[in-house]
Amino acid sequence: MLRRPVSAAPRKAASVLALASGLLLLSACTPGPDSVAPPSAEASPTPDSTVPAEPELVPDGTAEDNLPVFTRVSEGIWATDQRVSGRAYIDALTAAGFDRAAMQVTQDLSTVGNTAESLQFSVRWGEDECLIGQVGPSTGQVVTAVMPQLAEGRCLVGTTRPIDW
């Protein structure tokens, strides 16, 4: 029995036809010029996703009204290398609009010259309130609160340092 040689042309034509059919099917799955593209993941921000405004000093407000700005300023200093400097907190609070004459701050150093384990600073607010902050290695973070004033309009117990710079 003689075999006839099989021509390569029919096989080549079948391969081209299969490839063209596959491309035709794939092109049917892609969007055409009139189709609507799906929404992108990088959509513009909606009103609900806006960044909240920075808290601002409310001179006629209560101590509670001003606690957010007091806390923000304190956290800003805590995040720097000046975190254990009482002067840095007083200067930053003054720059934010708090009254320097109404402030108190404890010593940066212990009686033997070590960095204080806890540093406290305050702003007397109104007739009977105080904004108080505490930072240092013993707290590990900024702690702020509104507390009632003590006797003689003071906010902090014990000896504080003069704010004379």
- At residue 46, the pLDDT reads 54
Q: How many CB atoms lie within 10 A of CB 134?
A: 19
Is 119 in contact with 106 (CB distance < 8 Å)? yes
In angstroms, the CA 3 to CA 9 distance is 17
pLDDT tops 70 at residue 91 = yes
Give 85's pLDDT tier (boundaries 50, 70, 90). Answer: very high
Is 63 in contact with 131 (CB distance < 8 Å)? yes
Is the overall model pTM greater than 0.75, yes or no? no
Give 28's pLDDT tier (boundaries 50, 70, 90). Answer: very low
pLDDT tops 60 at residue 139 = yes
Residues in contact with 144: Cβ distance below 8 Å, sequence separation at least 6, in sequence order? 67, 70, 71, 74, 131, 132, 133, 134
State mean pLDDT over 18-30.
43
- At residue 49, the pLDDT reads 64
pLDDT tops 70 at residue 24 = no
Give 53's pLDDT tier (boundaries 50, 70, 90). Answer: confident
Mean pLDDT (the chain) is 81
- At residue 52, the pLDDT reads 78
Range of weakest confidence among 6-10, 14-18, 133-137: 14-18
State what percent of residues in the chain have pLDDT above 70: 70
pLDDT tops 80 at residue 36 = no
Tell me the three-class secondary structure of the chain, residue by residue.
CCCCCCCHHHHHHHHHHHHHHHHHHHHHHCCCCCCCCCCCCCCCCCHHHCCCCCCCCCCCCCHHHHHHHHHHHHHHHHCCCCCCCHHHHHHHHHHCCCCHHHEEECCCECCCCCECCCEEEEEEECCCEEEEEEECCCCCCCEEEEEECCHHHCCCCCCCCCCCC
